[in-house]
Amino acid sequence: MDCQEAKEKLLESFDGALSPDDSRQLERHLIACPNCAEFGESLNSLDVQLREAITAPRLSPGFRAALRARIDRQPRRLWAHWLPDVACLAGSGAAILCCVFLLPFPASAVLWIGALIAAASYSVQTLVLSSLEEL
């Protein structure tokens, strides 16, 4: 094991346990190489300092009550979340039926074309809404 490999293994040892073989090789290298041993010491000391400095505080006991109060202050939705979908499909259906009766084309052709346009517009609407949600 050369110095570069030893330093990589030293860094890896903080992510999780090394394999027994890697540990043995690293140990042998550190005995023979004071530079890498010093690097290992500095990483150990850094690890101790990071453990002491980065501690996880907990949320305050009033967190949930405050969140609940904010949720309660939110205005209620005027309509159910599925209503725009239903309105879109009902509107498309009504428009297609009107076209079937009013346009001077065979009813089956109007139905097919209308259904395709309705499906395309519904897909576009879904895409736009999901992009807005991700924003």
Q: Does 57 bind other proteins (CB under 8 A)?
A: yes
Q: Name the maximum alpha-carbon separation found in the chain.
A: 94
Alpha helices per DSSP H over 18-106:
20-32, 34-53, 63-73, 83-102
Q: Give the residue with the Cβ less far from other proteins, 5 or 117.
A: 5
Contact 1, 28 (CB under 8 A): yes
Q: Does 76 bind other proteins (CB under 8 A)?
A: no
Q: Does 53 bind other proteins (CB under 8 A)?
A: yes
Spatial separation of the C-alpha atoms in residues 107 and 95, rounded to whole Å: 13
Q: Give the residue with the Cβ less far from other proteins, 108 or 131.
A: 131
Residues near other proteins, by CB under 8 A: 8, 11-12, 14-16, 39, 42-43, 45-46, 49-60, 63-64, 66-67, 70-71, 74, 81, 129-130, 133-134
